[in-house]
Amino acid sequence: MPDEQILGGAIIFYSLPTAYFSLENGKRDKLVWATILFCVSVVLIVKSYFEILDTRGIIFVSILFVSGTVLMLLFIENMKEKVFFFSSLILILLSYLSVTFFKNLGLFETANKIGNLVEVFWPVILIVLGIGIFIKRKK
């Protein structure tokens, strides 16, 4: 069994019950992380089963879809907040449109150029994030 499938399975095993219990307990921080982890593991498993040529393109769609899913779950957790529902609809719709209608507009090519920059500078992002958390650790 490939590594991606094992990792994906393990994350699903952890994230699914965590998301479920977080919904019951109203712990939104855990709910958000568990939902993101669940979606990432699904992407990992799908990627291991299918041969996807434009791997960078998955990131573009995945970010939109995962964010939409997180906002939808936040709406389910607190039904009064309609703003989460509509924003999630916008994001999920845009993620669908980006692989169908917008594909011919050269959207992925432009996103890939930015992706190339992030690919080079991501260690710097990690260091900045780490220093930021270290400075604000006592807050």
Partner 1 sequence: MLEEEKNSNEQNFFDQMANEPSPIPLKKLQRSKSNVVIAGVCSGIAEYLKMDTATIRIIALLTVLIGGWGAVAYIITSLLLPVEQKPKQLTDDEIYSQRKENFMTVLSGLLILAGIHFALVYIGFRSGERIFILPNDFVFPFVSMALGIILLSKNVAVFSEPGFQTPDSFSRSRTDRKIMGVCGGLSKYLNVDSSALRIIFILATLLTLGIFCIVYIYFSLFTFYETEQKFE
Out of 16, 59, 92, 99, name the contact with partner 1 by CB under 8 A: 59
128: left (phi over 0), alpha (psi -120 to 50) or beta: alpha
Select from 38-46, 47-55, 126-134 the region that touches partner 1 (CB under 8 A): 126-134
4, two tokens? 């991606």
Residue of the chain from 1, 53, 79, 120 that contacts partner 1 (CB under 8 A)? 120
Q: How far is CA 7 from the centre of its chain?
A: 16
Angle between helices 55-77 and 3-25 (to 10 degrees): 20
Other CB atoms within 10 A of residue 108 CB: 19
Is 106 a binder of partner 1 (CB under 8 A)?
Answer: no
67 binds partner 1 (CB under 8 A): yes
Candidates 60, 69, 72, 73; binder of partner 1 (CB under 8 A) is: 60
By CB under 8 A, the count of residues binding partner 1 is: 47
